[in-house]
Amino acid sequence: MSPKVSVIIPVYNVEPYLRECLDSVIGQTLKDIEIICVDDGSADGSPAILEEYRQRDPRITVLTQENRGQSAARNRGMDVARGEYLYFIDSDDYVDPDLLEKTTALADEMKLDILVSGLECFAEQEEKDRDFFFDDDLLTMRAPRVFSGVEYIKWSNDQDVYPDLASAQLWRRGLLTDHGLRFEEGIIYEDGLFAFEAFMAAKRVYQIEDCFYHYRRWRSSTTLKKPTHRNVESYYACTRKILSYAFRESNTPEEKDAIFRAYDQNATYTCELYLALTNEEKKKVFIADELDSQLLRQIILNNSVSDRQFIFLRRLTWFPRNFRRGFRCLRAHGLRYTLRRVWQYMTGRQYNGA
């Protein structure tokens, strides 16, 4: 009999955090799960930890491969998954014990293709980055109704809560297999492209505000590394793939709107990444196809402002952006939690109060 959920965990050199991740998964109140760990060529103690846990829990399967990246590891896990639903967890993160029980119950009740939930970002004390304020939580809000995936892209974009991560969402496996959806290999930021393609195919999507997923920010993670030319090239590849959807003759007006919303968001971020590069890294940006290269230059030209203007505008809009996020935080988590976030930001220290 197939399990209710297949949890897919790509693993690469995360020895300090892997036990916490695995403990949070094997401790789920929903027991009818399989746990597929894909070791992507780790060179630290991660393989030994995986073997230890595999011997402890028969629900754990460990696959190994040469280092090919997170996308390839996730795809490998999807190839062998048998669950009705899929859930992706990064091996340096952890989840609440009732995550899968609550989300699958709601997905069954509402007959969902995708259930979106929030996630809480955190960092080790030495990794605290004062650039993050309410951005430390990727906050969501409860959707007013079940949307089609196309409707959901528009609604979430309007609410500034569009999720571009594969983690923290529950995916119906049949949706992904029926449409042949896979993670693009060889690029960074593959999550956003995967999510877009899944939403475009989905018939029933719902979003809740609960933050079951705890997302670790650390210096060697993609979210905190200084961007390089490869970041720009990879994000452009996602932007170009999204744009290709616009040329389908069967597109409805609603689908066209969703496509261009997603395209505009990705094009803007591609430009922001480019502006964040050093001059030396900017010279390394290379797109082999001449037409694509011209399109990237046009994206940068259309979206760019000078570095000085960019910094000025970010500072100018700091208060309204964080006021809006703070209001969402207050509505989702209450006054006590919101004040704790403000205190953490202002002092740069973890809050140790009750």
Same-domain pairing of 118 and 30: yes
Q: Which of 217, 241, 275 corresponds to the end of one domain?
A: 217
Same-domain pairing of 52 and 139: yes
| 311, part of any domain | no
Same-domain pairing of 49 and 95: yes
Same-domain pairing of 150 and 248: no
Same-domain pairing of 84 and 188: yes
The mean of the pLDDT values for the chain is 85
* Residue 61: C-alpha distances to residues 49, 51, 69, 174 (Å): 13, 9, 19, 21
Residue 336 CB neighbour total at 10 angstroms = 10
Say which range, 107-111, 139-143, 176-180, 206-210, has the weakest mean pLDDT.
Answer: 139-143
**Residue 36 DSSP SS3:** strand
- pLDDT score of 39: 98
Same-domain pairing of 242 and 322: no
- pLDDT score of 352: 39
- pLDDT score of 23: 98
What does the pLDDT average to over 82-98?
A: 97
pLDDT at 307 over 70: no
- pLDDT score of 133: 43
Say which range, 77-81, 111-115, 218-222, has the weakest mean pLDDT.
Answer: 218-222
Percent of the chain with pLDDT over 90: 53
- pLDDT score of 267: 87
Same-domain pairing of 299 and 330: no
Same-domain pairing of 321 and 267: no
Q: Model confidence over 158-182: pLDDT tens digits? A: 887 888 889 989 999 999 999 999 9
pLDDT at 85 over 90: yes
Q: Which of 191, 217, 243 corresponds to the end of one domain?
A: 217
Same-domain pairing of 201 and 245: no
Q: Model confidence over 239-265: pLDDT tens digits? A: 999 999 998 888 999 999 999 999 888
Quote the number of domains for the chain: 3
| 114, part of any domain | yes
| 223, part of any domain | no
C-beta of residue 306 within 8 angstroms of C-beta of residue 276: no
- pLDDT score of 11: 98
Give the residue numbers spanning the domain of 98.
5-217
- pLDDT score of 321: 62
Same-domain pairing of 193 and 141: yes
Q: Which residues contact 258 (CB under 8 A, 6 or more apart)?
A: 150, 151, 153, 154, 199, 200
Same-domain pairing of 292 and 333: no
What does the pLDDT average to over 74-85?
A: 98
Token pair in block for residue 349: 């220290």
How far apart CA 178 and CA 129 sit, in angstroms, is 41
To the question of pTM greater than 0.85 for the whole model, the response is: no
Say which range, 56-65, 139-148, 183-192, 297-306, has the weakest mean pLDDT.
Answer: 297-306
Phi-psi region of 155 (alpha: psi -120 to 50; beta: other; left: phi over 0): alpha
Same-domain pairing of 264 and 204: no
- pLDDT score of 335: 79
- pLDDT score of 165: 87
